[in-house]
Amino acid sequence: MQAASRSVEAAIQFLKFILSTRQSHSPNGFAVSKVTFMNEDALIEHARGATRKAYAPYSHFHVGCAVESVDGTVVTGANMENACYRLGVCAEISALTAAQASFGLAKIARIAVAGGNLASGKLSGEQAVTPCGGCRQSILEAAQLSGIDIEILCASGDGRKVERHRISELLPHGFGPANLKDAG
């Protein structure tokens, strides 16, 4: 009975989000959401906190990512390096995988990324960290599934610099599910 009650509550929250969202459309056809559930600083702090879970013994560059759903749920991920360098996993992919398991890619509202050097438990770095090309491709997949031009908050390790981008800006001519309509 509790599971059914949680499912009903989640559905109500999702409908409230849909009904309360004022949307405009970007030139590429994505809906641009005007509703957020967590302030930017809090979402960035989730991403900065996730850097402490990174495994980065080779580059010493710790990256964390926080993904917020349309109902306000937040999941995080961190990068994980490997001695066989090409087998490493980016923080964004780690967080997107957690998002898929928790609430589904089509319900992603916003993403925050932060990274830098983690020494003595303190994250440092002055440059805003943006997703790599492969991560941008994966974020585009989620954006095309939801129809929302996902906002990405890109923060420096020290948290002083924040850039705000939409996935359509970071990957303007991306290839995703919409491009496979003729595949049959």
Cα–Cα distance for residue pair 48/41, rounded to 1 Å = 10
Cα–Cα distance for residue pair 71/12, rounded to 1 Å = 9
Identify whether 92 is a catalytic site residue: yes
Active-site position among 68, 92, 141, 151: 92
- Positions marked active-site: 92
